[in-house]
Amino acid sequence: QGKEMLCVALTGDGSRVVSCSVDGAVRIWDAESAEQLHKCTGHTDWVWGLAVTLDGSLAASCSRDFTARVWDIREGREVRSIEHKGEVMCVALNQSGSLLVTGQGKLIYLWDVETGA
């Protein structure tokens, strides 16, 4: 991992581990070999929350940088970035990955992953 890890998530089939850290990176690992498959960059500050879809295709991350991001786990690329007005403290995805829920302060937001609205 390199930097201090703040959270981890496991895909439903147990084949991939997703981790986040103080360096702003989201890393995707092969669970069996412990090989890092992807280093997803985009966050500019600590990433402290993760969620993974049931089928293991998408991961969502939230950060101190006022963004939540959705990542394609297989390709290691960003699918969506959603700006907030403050630090995003928690994140969740529905089973299909079509909806993202974020928490900021006392507010909960529901987002369409495809449109970002």
What pLDDT sits at residue 1?
56
Each domain of the chain, given as residue ranges in start order, spans: 5-112
Q: Are 60 and 51 in contact (CB under 8 A)?
A: yes
Q: How far apart are CA 48 and CA 13, in angstroms?
A: 23
In the block, tokens 């991992």 appear at 1
- Which two structure tokens, joined as six digits, stand for 27? 């890393």
Is the pLDDT assigned to residue 5 strictly greater than 90? no
Confidence of residue 2 (pLDDT cuts 50, 70, 90): low
Q: Could you write out the DSSP letters of every residue in 2-55?
A: -SPEEEEEE-TTSSEEEEEETTS-EEEEETTT--EEEEE----S-EEEEEE-TT
What proportion of the chain, given as a percentage, has pLDDT over 90? 90
Mean pLDDT of 83-88: 95
CA distance 3 to 97: 28
- What's the pLDDT at 44? 95
Determine the average pLDDT of the residues in 90-116. Answer: 95
Mean pLDDT of 57-79: 97
Instruction: Say whether pLDDT at 108 is over 80.
Output: yes
Model confidence, pTM: 0.92
Q: CATH code for 5-112?
A: 2.130.10.10
What digits encode the pLDDT tens for the residues 12-41?
999 999 999 899 999 999 999 999 999 999
User: Stretch 61-88: mean pLDDT, rounded?
Assistant: 96
